[in-house]
Chains A and B, each alone.
Chain A
Amino acid sequence: MGLLINQKLVNDETGRQLEKLCPFGAISYTDGRLEIGAGCKLCKMCVRKGPEGVVTFAEEEVMKVNKDQYRGVCVYADSDHGVIHKVTFELIGKARELAKVIDHPVYAILIGSDTDENVRELLEYGVDRVFVYDHPELKDFDIEKYANCFADFIERIRPSSILVGATNVGRCLAPRVAARFHTGLTADCTRLEMKENTDLVQIRPAFGGNIMAQIINPYRRPQFCTVRYKIFDSPEKVENPTGTVERVQIKDEWLESSTEILAVHEKEKEMDISEADVIVAVGRGLKSADDIGMVQELADLLGGVVACSRPLVEAGIFDAKHQIGLSGKTVKPKLIITLGISGAIQFTSGMNSSECIIAVNSDPEAQIFDVCNYGIVGDIYDVVPKLIKMIKGE
């Protein structure tokens, strides 16, 4: 099955070459024999990049579904006690794009209690049909109950693709349901494209973002994937929603559960800069503790938190838990704006793998400009107040 070795072509040269080539260390060459071990991930690097003909790949007959029987691009509407997570709308936007390619409808599945308001919102974003599983016992997320409802939807409606937001709830629910249907699930996709034959091309990072993998699920349906918040754009609402709603009669057996929920607590908004998606970090460019206000305001407008370099902790302006760097916290936000920070290595080592770094510093020679994506050479006291006004739309 799978990879075949032509031992006749194996010699010291090809053997060693293949051994070195395998990214997963699964090929071993000992005593003139080449072996592929259980570490093999079938990335087929050895077939494509190895010495010709030594390792070949045999396509095989696989279980195939009739893809024509599966229609629709579905989004799981992640509703937490009546509040729809915004990732849902982003996914609806993407689902509409994908569905257009193959002329499929866009569905949403909504599970919860007291869902009328949520249904209306989903329709406003252009969903063609919302399937609602509403019951008082579905108020709190319960993996068994939710998986049962989801399974009912898939069995009856047979969607072709299902997009789920990678919230903790989505990451718990999607695999449970995908496994029930023996189908594939691609985690944390950052790009999705639809082929005309309804195969969903899914691109995702792995190895902590150091590698991108392009994944397809060509033989089974539905095709499942999860996507994190803020990867895709939030779509505009449609002018005259025309979508329809199907309220599903909940069966008692779907509500059986081995879990008993005792309490659900709203999480205290505890500040942890390493968890934040957006950080505004300030350094000795800050003239006085009184100026923190503008920094905080900028952070608030961007939905982020304030952090700082070490001197501001030493000066007692900030608590140590705000400090980034070697002797502080390591952060990897989607966006970090540094204000009046010189960019000493002890600082940058704690933030240089951030996705986007915008540095504001009045000194064009400042080291921070070596690590940033965008360098703004200017005075923070000019830039920040104006920027705040613009964001507020004043």
Chain B
Amino acid sequence: MNIIVCIKQVPGTNKVNVDPVTGTLIRDGVAAKMNPYDLYALEMGLRLKEKYGGTLKVLSMGPFSALEVIREAIYMGADGGILISDRKFGGADVLATSYTLCSGILAMGEFDLILTGKQTTDGDTAQVGSELAEHLKVPHAAYVRELELEGDRLRYVSNLDNKTVEATIKMPCLVCADGEVNTPRLPSFKRKMEYGNCDDLIKIITFDDIIDRDETHYGLKGSPTQVERIFEPDKTKEKVIIAEGDLAEETFKILKDRKYI
């Protein structure tokens, strides 16, 4: 089975604040890391590969610093990785990101299974996986908790609100792993020693390497959504202390005002 797992590098913390004076984002200097939800997808893929053979590669779109998370994936057991990086891809929303990932995958050749995480911890839309499946014109399943090979299909269990669904799906296909579905392994020290910088295992794809080179499909030009402004949520923790009067009634009013009842 040929598996590709999509991984994204995200800020080490999502504790960002808006500077009240300048209106800019303040991030403390915590190093970037692999999107935690992608670890579950990666672990899911590695287990399939170990059981049924084949190859597993990771794919990431982002700046060169994202090489770091590709290396981490290789230390965990991926056979190799691809970074899609080009300034032309910058400013991408979900549509353009998923389209770029699709172009990258098509440039990588055949695949049986694409795995993505449930969502990221920065953009946090949980949309890239489903849009990617649409661009690739393959079926997909989301919120998948268990995944097994069954003949030439995959058998999965997915989590749909208050139901769980058991189903099989034809390959090639895409699967978005749900969160907390396994315990991702740690990067292996041995592999780290063996592969070091992983230079031979990582390929970098730029705009010139992809098949569809219509610039209006990528980056800003390919992004229908525009972030008009970013601001800090209204965190004015209005604190109200009520010590007198009919306390039950006051509590009732609060619950009603805030629509809890």
What residues make up the interface of A, taking CB atoms closer than 8 Å to B?
1-2, 21, 23, 25-26, 36-43, 45, 49, 60, 62-63, 80, 85, 140-141, 143-144, 147, 167-169, 171-176, 178-180, 182-188, 201, 205-220, 230, 233, 257-267, 278, 301-302, 334-335, 356, 358, 360, 364, 369, 372-378, 382-384, 386-387, 390-391
Looking at the complex, which one of A1, A183, A265, A384 makes contact with B164 (CB distance below 8 Å)?
Answer: A265
* 5 A-B pairs whose Cβ atoms sit less than 8 Å apart in the complex: A185-B94, A185-B127, A207-B14, A211-B25, A264-B165
Shortest CB–CB separation between residue A39 and chain B, in angstroms? 4
A260 in contact with B94 given A208-B124, A302-B261 (CB within 8 Å): no
Interface centre among A174, A176, A217 (most CB of B within 10 A): A176
List residues of chain B with CB within 8 A of the CB of A208. 14, 121, 124
A220 to B153: give the CA distance in the assembly, Å: 37
* Contact A263 to B125, CB < 8 A, known contacts A168-B143, A184-B224, A375-B239: no
Please determine whether B16 and A180 come into contact, CB atoms closer than 8 angstroms. Answer: no
Instruction: Check A217/B224 contact, CB under 8 A, given A37-B64, A210-B16, A374-B242.
Output: yes
The one of A206, A207, A259, A376 that contacts B247, using a Cβ cutoff of 8 Å: A376
Q: In the complex, A178 Cα to B132 Cα: how many Å?
A: 11
Give the interface SS of chain B, mostly helix, strand, loop or mixed: mixed
In contact, A378 and B243 (Cβ under 8 angstroms): yes
Q: Out of B16, B127, B135, which one reaches A211, CB within 8 Å?
A: B16
B222-261 vs A, Cβ < 8 Å mask (1 yes, 0 no): 0111111111110001111111001111111011001111
Q: Shortest CB–CB separation between residue A334 and chain B, in angstroms?
A: 8
A374 touches B252 (CB 8 A): no
Q: CB < 8 Å: which of B90, B133, B160, B223 contacts A37?
A: B90
Which among B25, B63, B229, B261 is the interface contact of A39 at CB below 8 angstroms? B63
Pairwise interchain contact B16-A387, C-beta atoms closer than 8 A: no
Q: Which residues of B contact A169 (CB under 8 A)?
A: 160-161
CB of B130 within 8 A of CB of A140, answer no
Contacts of B259 in A (CB 8 A): 230, 233
- Taking the complex as formed, is B2 at the interface, i.e. its CB lies under 8 A from any CB of chain A? no
Contact B247 A60 (CB under 8 A): no
- Contact among B128, B140, B215, B226 for A215, CB-based, below 8 A: B226
